[in-house]
Structure 1
Amino acid sequence: MDEIVKSSILVELKDNLDITWDDESTNRKLEKHIIRSEAYLQELSGTSLDFVMNIRARDLLLERCRYLYNNVADEFEPNFETELGRFILNEAVRKASESNETTS
């Protein structure tokens, strides 16, 4: 993820978490949450995700960051089981569709 995208996600995450202050320690912690959540979702879906264009991926990224921030990451998968299942299926279909287009 490039720095511009990470910066816009950081701003959106801080807004979602109602973080109105701007200090280096908090920003660094949130940036780590973003990186970890990005890797988690990419691994889960088995695809390279565009967190700008893929709104579902971005929403899941922000939600997982929220869970990490509140130290309840272990509750993310059970609480988002339906959304994650739908997300994985959609990404698999998209990947298969792209694969078929390149071989045709």
Structure 2
Amino acid sequence: MEELIKLVKNELKITWSDPDTDKEIETLVADAIPTMNYKLGVKEADADYLAPGQERRLFLNYCRYARNNCVEDFDMRYLNDILQLRLKYEVKYAKEQTV
């Protein structure tokens, strides 16, 4: 989780460290993980928001929206990306069940 916090702080251009900001970002990331897992239909063990790719980009964008108190706009703006990733994991999990 610490690496995700660093990644989010970097994405949000937070170059300082103070207890209030650090706690805000820690809470934001802790809430964003299960939220994104649910939106994408991802099992917790399969979620790697540190690896380069669409999942990480979407996670960081969600954190940006959350920091700016506009998560209600996130789904509309990123619906296509959410659906693409959801389909990817649905296919993956369907293949796992048939094996």
Instruction: Report the TM-score range of the alignment, normalised by the length of the smaller protein.
Output: 0.7 to 0.9
Select the residue among 41, 44, 47 that pairs with 1:46. 41
- Residue 96 of structure 1 is matched in structure 2 by 94
Q: CA deviation at 1:54?
A: 7.3
Q: CA deviation at 1:53?
A: 4.6
Report whether the alignment pairs 1:33 with 2:31: no
Q: CA deviation at 1:39?
A: 0.9
Tell me how far apart the structure 1 counterparts of residues 9 and 51 of structure 2 sit (CA, whole Å).
20
**Greater Cα offset, 34-43 or 80-89:** 34-43
Select the residue among 11, 20, 23 that pairs with 2:18. 23
Q: Write the deviation string for residues 48-75 of structure 1: whole angstroms up to 9, x where unpaired.
A: 1233457332222211111000111111
Q: How many residues align?
A: 96
Report whether the alignment pairs 1:55 with 2:50: no
Identity between Structure 1 and Structure 2 (%):
24
- The unaligned stretches of length 5 or more in structure 2 are none
Tell me how far apart the structure 2 counterparts of residues 71 and 87 of structure 1 sit (CA, whole Å).
24
Tell me how far apart the structure 2 counterparts of residues 99 and 53 of structure 1 sit (CA, whole Å).
25
**Runs of 4+ more than 3 Å apart:** 52-55
- Residue 63 of structure 2 is matched in structure 1 by 65
Report whether the alignment pairs 1:10 with 2:5: yes
